[in-house]
Amino acid sequence: MISTLRWIVLVMTLCVASFAHAHKPSDSYLLLTTQSSSDDVSGHWDIALRDLELSVGIDTNRDGAITWGELRAHEDAVFGYALQRLALRADGAPCAIARGALLVDTHSDGAYAVLNFSAHCTAPPRRLEVGYHLLFDLDPSHRGLLGLTADGIARSAVLSPEQPVQEFDLKHASPWHQFFQFVGDGMHHIWIGYDHMLFLISLLLPAVLVRREGRWIPVGTLRSALISVFAVVSAFTVSHSITLTLAALGVIGLPSRWVESGIALSVLLAALNNIWPQVTRRAWLLAFFFGLVHGFGFASVLNDLGLPRDALAISLAGFNIGVELGQLTVVLIVVPLIFLLRERRFYRPAILVGGSSAIAVVAAVWFLQRALGFGLN
């Protein structure tokens, strides 16, 4: 899933990158992630399109411009070429590598293909050996920059023709490491998940106002503002925790398209409610109801991260606490700001109505994309 906002940000990065081809030597970025509880190693491998053009050949019409269509047309060849040149061994036994999605990313010197894959080992790796042989035959100055995260502990190495194989002793981390890893993931998800953030902000914006006789009036004291903030945030927390837990444990499951569309819809309705107020007294009800949908969204992220079977409760709790902490930082930044601005003449037209309108537009686009698949191929 790609949200529009993230997409816009990416387009901007692309424009910058297009005039900024550094004269950088050839590098690839290989990120491997393992959990002590799992037989699988997940991988993301960023390989420069320029290197793929010289090795595999992807510019079909040879016009010097590589399109997504051209890269996609060579998806099999690219995965085949790269994965043949990577060997992972867990405690001496080879791991079978299965390809995942092909994506795109940019580094300072241009566009990279992102090869996602997962390697299935016969047992959770205690010693992981990485054998890397990409491009060394064509360009000995090529380097593979390897980042390995095992149970949340990061290590790195540079793979070169002189040292194409690296071995890692994966000391198993304490449950606390896993716990903090998931706390970090939870916070990260809030900060990069614009949909959750915009939902929260939409609910917070009217918290420094009170509705009397069809008009918004600034609240008098910080105390009354904090009461409504507390009610909204607690309701959101309780409800998304319920569904997050139920979905993570596999008790309930919903198709991700419904969930993602539902989240977009919740942002849209929360923003519209600020423009044409319907629910004004009990905003926490809104937070509670839609929080249920957001919980399913969090659960799908947690699933993508790979839940360790032996530390399910710890990682679930860690992730949830991370989400709450991430949410708390948003509250701590937004609430003082809007409280200070609440009596300004521009607060209602520009921030409450203007801001909510902008959020509503973004949310509407998300909803169309997610529910109807517009703009996605």
Partner 1 sequence: MSLARHSRASNGAALLAGVIATAMALTTGHAAPYRPLSDEVVLERLPPALLALRQLRGTATPSIEPANLDAALASARHYVELGQTYSDPRAYGYAQAALGHWWTSDDGATPQLLVMRARILQFGHRFPQALAQLEVALKADQFQPDAWLLFASIEEVEGNLPAARAGCMKVLPMADPLIGATCVAGIGALSGRADAAEQLLAQALARPTAAGKAVQTWSWTTLAEIRARRNDIAASEVAFRQALTLEPDDVYARSAYADLLLDADRVAEARGVLGDAMQADALLLRASIAAQRNNDADASTLRADLAQRFSEARARGDETHLREQACFVLAVEQNAARALDLAQRNFNVQREPADVRILLEAALAAGQPEAAKPALEWMKTTAIDSVQLSTLAKKIADGARG
Taking the least distance from each CB to partner 1, the nearer of 156 and 224 is 156
Pair type for strands 153-159 and 209-212 = unpaired
Among 41, 66, 207, 209, binds partner 1 (CB under 8 A): 66
Asked if 329 interacts with partner 1 (CB under 8 A), we say no
Q: Which of 87, 104, 238, 371 binds partner 1 (CB under 8 A)?
A: 104
When asked if residue 184 is in the footprint of partner 1 (CB under 8 A), the reply is no
User: Which residues touch 320 (CB under 8 Å, ≥6 apart)?
Assistant: 186, 241, 244, 245, 298
Binding status of residue 111 toward partner 1 by CB under 8 A: yes
Closest to partner 1 by CB, 161 vs 218, is 161
Q: How far is the CB of 238 from partner 1 (least distance, A)?
A: 30
Which listed residue (76, 98, 137, 313) binds partner 1 by CB under 8 A? Answer: 137
Q: How far, in Å, CA of 148 to CA of 154, rounded?
A: 6
For residue 160, the minimal CB distance to partner 1 (Å) is 7
Closest to 195 (Cα-Cα) out of 296, 282, 279, 305: 296
Site string for partner 1, 336-375 (x = CB under 8 A): ---------------------------------------x
Total residues contacting partner 1 by CB under 8 A comes to: 68
Query: Is 37 a binder of partner 1 (CB under 8 A)?
Result: no
Closest contact distance (angstroms) between CB of 148 and partner 1 is: 9
User: Can you tell me which of 146, 203, 205, 270 binds partner 1, judged by CB under 8 A?
Assistant: 146
Do 45 and 29 meet the contact criterion of CB atoms below 8 Å apart?
yes
CA distance 145 to 142: 10
Instruction: Tell whether residue 60 is a contact of partner 1 (CB under 8 A).
Output: no
215 forms part of the interface with partner 1 (CB under 8 A): no
Q: Which is nearer to partner 1, 5 or 364 (CB)?
A: 5
Counting contacts by CB under 8 A, is residue 6 touching partner 1?
yes
CB 64 within 8 A of CB 21: no
Asked if 376 touches partner 1 (CB under 8 A), the answer is yes
CA separation for the pair 217, 352 (Å, rounded): 12
Q: Is the distance from CB of 47 to CB of 55 less than 8 angstroms?
A: no
Whole-number Cα distances in Å, 37 to 151, 168, 175, 253: 9, 17, 11, 23
| In contact, 356 and 268? CB cutoff 8 Å | no
What is the DSSP pairing of strand 127-132 with strand 165-169?
Answer: antiparallel
Q: How far is CA 307 from CA 93, 99, 154, 273, in A?
A: 24, 20, 18, 37
User: In sequence order, which residues have a C-beta less than 8 Å from that of residue 58 and are 6 or more positions away?
Assistant: 49, 52, 66, 70, 71, 73, 74, 77, 78
Is 165 a residue that touches partner 1 (CB under 8 A)? Answer: no
Report yes or no: 141 and 26 within 8 Å, Cβ to Cβ: yes
Residue 5 within binding range of partner 1, rule CB under 8 A: no
- What residue ranges bind partner 1 (CB under 8 A)? 2, 6-7, 9-10, 13-14, 16, 18-27, 29, 31, 44, 46, 49-50, 53-54, 59, 64-69, 71-72, 101, 103-111, 114, 137-143, 145-147, 149, 154, 156-158, 160, 163, 166, 192, 375-377
